[in-house]
Structure 1
């Protein structure tokens, strides 16, 4: 049986994730981890108690983003069209975190990606099922296809500046969203 997380530890983790999200978007992947700890108002030891390395931190930031997307999706209600909103927001999340793909490609253990993949599948399964039940989305898609959709939405960003990432993202969204619709 797991012990509940102490409130101060949970607050420290939340502060680290917030600082990481901000600094990574401001300075990129090479931002010193010490700077993230400093911005979060904690010591380096606290950062390493929560995250063993940059890859663990990257995964945590992405999972936190999926958790936020899930909460915002649920707040939009049960309308079948929410699935398309979910995909649009997923595209934004992927674009904002485009640089993390390099870190994720270098994950030593494929099992390390399991929590991220599960969280994405869980977050999108309900909206997908409702859209399919309403006849808006192809019936041959399954929740596991959300991983493929996220990968497609994040492709084409390597070496691209922000303007090019936005253009590639817009075109990819159009192609993906048209491909999802029921025929």
Structure 2
């Protein structure tokens, strides 16, 4: 028996795209039993909103650009925005730059937002595989259906995929108007 690995050159993989969103499936459940791997372009003004996953473990690695990121249980969860959250020992969301890695275990609140004016590129892994593959396919259909975005459809989708949304997902430039509180 001959074993073979998988090599996915730059720009290749299964691509899902809308005018504002871009996801490239690099490694899927078809290739591994460990973790799906995607390259994700986060558009300016996109805020995934704080949320948790009951079963999934996620890893984010920033390749290009800057994101505001959070991965902790805050002292107090607020429903409107995660950007002011802090832990009992004073930790807050941080500015992630290329090379930053964020690991999120199941149940841990996490979020990211592109507060800049240019798209951000990150590598994203989720275990178990296939967990987010069909989610991304369905999400891209909703986001690509035109304005206004059907937030109720996104909410139903997230519930089906074991995602507890804590603060709203935002996809417009309005998120860039917020400022990060200083510790």
| TM-score normalised over the length of structure 1 | 0.27
**Greater Rg by CA:** 1
Q: Which has the higher strand share?
A: 2
Larger RCO: Structure 1 or Structure 2 (Cα < 8 Å, ≥ 6 residues apart)? 2
Whose helix fraction is larger, Structure 1's or Structure 2's?
1
TM-score relative to the length of structure 2: 0.27
